[in-house]
């Protein structure tokens, strides 16, 4: 018998997130065979909606075999069939179900980067032209990454996804209205007092139509506006490296000082990637209170209710951003213990709870 939580998640993905209509072609991509229970329920929901499902299930070992054995010509070969498949789909469900989170640790990163460039146009078709949604399916590898048992991780995941998304949307629209009218955001917390200009920038609410779980409102700050300092008490993870105890100081929008308790050299190197890497590309406010704690997975962590995340680097054009960079690194600040957010000197959140 299917887990009722899996059935509910499948219903949310197909009938809420994607809103699949009769006659639409829906591509289901799974990163491993472990997602079979969710893939089957998603498949059923698509058929019930009158859609036409197609399934791609990967075997994690294939990537290792490919990167270890492929000749240059094979590495750079463009998969035309995959491109046509993406072009022909109306919407896409991407299900991550990791078998081994470290599977590609010993693969030459240059080969991965080269292959990513080859596949870029396919991912751009999906991201820019199609309706899509991304979610995790519980696996031992994902549970281990978050220091949980599989049962604990299942509870953690479904408490974040199987919620009333219409209610989340209502809360996010309140926050969007405040931010859209605002000029300056001030973030206060442990070793933190940072002001950021947002006048004229568009706040974008995210309530389960792309990422699952979702639950944030984000915008791209005015590039030269950040002033003050911030301390990140949660780990900041980028390109598989964990950086702890980050402290940043901003002047006229730019990071003028940076330190960390662990992997400081990596932090500095990333900030020196290019001119735009020392400026903010995003301010996001988490609003999903079903996510109770940090998991080292940005899909969940940036949505935690009572946190904010600030990304150095590339901004979002759809949010009015103008900063360009090769990096976009989200760093999460927990405000649930002695933290506050002000908009134009008006308190809107205290200790992780909104004041409305």
3-class DSSP state of 245: coil
The predicted model gives 84-95 an average pLDDT of 95
φ, ψ of residue 350 to 5 degrees: the values are -135, 130
102 vs 35, more confident: 35
At residue 105, does pLDDT exceed 90?
Answer: no
The predicted model gives 308-335 an average pLDDT of 92
What percent of the chain shows pLDDT beyond 90? 80
The predicted model gives 185-211 an average pLDDT of 96
The Cα-based distances of 112 to 115, 116, 180, 327, 347 in angstroms read 5, 6, 40, 17, 46
At residue 304, does pLDDT exceed 80?
Answer: yes
Read off the pLDDT band of 133 (50, 70, 90). very high
The whole-angstrom separation of Cα 332 and Cα 236 is: 7
Q: How much is the pLDDT for 121?
A: 86
At residue 99, does pLDDT exceed 80?
Answer: yes
Q: How much is the pLDDT for 220?
A: 96
Read off the pLDDT band of 141 (50, 70, 90). very high
Q: How much is the pLDDT for 2?
A: 83
3-class DSSP state of 70: coil
At residue 102, does pLDDT exceed 80?
Answer: no
At residue 1, does pLDDT exceed 80?
Answer: no
Domains and CATH numbers, the chain: 4-161 (3.40.1830.10), 165-354 (no CATH)
At residue 3, does pLDDT exceed 90?
Answer: yes
The mean predicted confidence, pLDDT, of the chain is 94
At residue 145, does pLDDT exceed 90?
Answer: no
What percent of the chain shows pLDDT beyond 70? 100
The whole-angstrom separation of Cα 355 and Cα 344 is: 14
The whole-angstrom separation of Cα 154 and Cα 34 is: 14
Relative orientation angle of helices 4-11 and 36-48, to the nearest 10 degrees: 50
DSSP 229-243: EEEE-S-EEETTEEE
Among 39-53, 109-123, 257-271, the range scoring the smallest mean pLDDT is: 109-123
φ, ψ of residue 341 to 5 degrees: the values are -125, 130
* Alpha-helical runs (H) found in the chain: 4-11, 36-48, 60-69, 72-75, 80-88, 109-129, 140-145, 150-161, 165-181, 264-271, 298-301
The predicted model gives 69-85 an average pLDDT of 93
3-class DSSP state of 337: coil
List, for residues 267-295, the tens digit of each pLDDT value: 999 999 889 999 999 999 999 999 988 99
φ, ψ of residue 226 to 5 degrees: the values are -65, 130
3-class DSSP state of 282: strand
The predicted model gives 263-268 an average pLDDT of 93
At residue 237, does pLDDT exceed 80?
Answer: yes
pTM of the model: 0.86
Read off the pLDDT band of 318 (50, 70, 90). confident
Q: Residue 213, preceding bond cis, omega within 30 degrees?
A: yes
Q: How much is the pLDDT for 81?
A: 94
The whole-angstrom separation of Cα 255 and Cα 271 is: 8
The predicted model gives 129-157 an average pLDDT of 94
Q: Which residue has the tokens 């999906």?
A: 126
């Amino acid at each position: 018998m299917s887990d009722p939580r899996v059935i509910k998640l499948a219903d949310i993905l197909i009938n809420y997130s994607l809103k699949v209509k009769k006659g639409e072609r829906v591509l289901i991509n799974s990163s491993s065979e472990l997602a079979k229970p969710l893939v089957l329920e998603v498949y059923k929901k698509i058929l019930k909606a009158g859609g036409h499902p197609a399934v791609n299930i990967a075997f994690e070992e294939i990537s290792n075999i490919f990167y270890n054995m492929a000749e240059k010509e094979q590495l750079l070969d463009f998969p035309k069939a995959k491109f046509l498949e993406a072009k022909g789909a109306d919407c896409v469900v991407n299900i991550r179900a990791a078998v081994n989170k470290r599977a590609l640790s010993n693969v030459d990163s240059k080969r991965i980067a080269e292959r990513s460039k080859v596949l870029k146009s396919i991912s751009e078709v999906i991201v820019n032209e199609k309706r899509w949604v991304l979610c995790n399916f519980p696996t031992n590898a994902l549970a281990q990454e978050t220091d949980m048992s599989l049962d604990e991780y299942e509870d953690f995941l479904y408490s974040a996804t199987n919620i009333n998304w219409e209610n989340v949307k209502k809360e996010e629209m309140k926050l969007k209205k405040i931010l859209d009218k605002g000029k300056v955001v001030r973030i206060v917390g442990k070793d933190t007092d940072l002001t950021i200009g947002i006048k004229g920038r568009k706040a974008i609410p995210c309530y389960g139509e792309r990422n699952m779980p979702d639950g944030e409102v984000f915008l791209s700050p005015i590039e030269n506006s950040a002033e003050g300092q911030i301390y990140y008490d949660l780990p900041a993870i980028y390109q598989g490296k964990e950086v702890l105890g980050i402290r940043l100081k901003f002047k006229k929008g730019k990071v003028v000082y940076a330190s960390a308790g662990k992997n400081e050299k990596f932090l500095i190197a990333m900030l020196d990637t290019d001119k735009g890497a020392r400026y903010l590309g995003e301010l996001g406010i988490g609003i999903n209170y079903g996510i109770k704690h940090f998991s080292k997975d940005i899909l969940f962590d940036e949505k935690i209710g009572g946190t904010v995340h600030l990304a150095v680097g590339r901004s979002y054009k759809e949010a009015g951003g103008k900063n360009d960079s090769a990096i976009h690194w989200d760093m999460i600040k927990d405000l649930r213990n002695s933290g506050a957010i002000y908009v134009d000197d008006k308190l809107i959140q205290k200790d992780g709870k909104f004041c409305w």
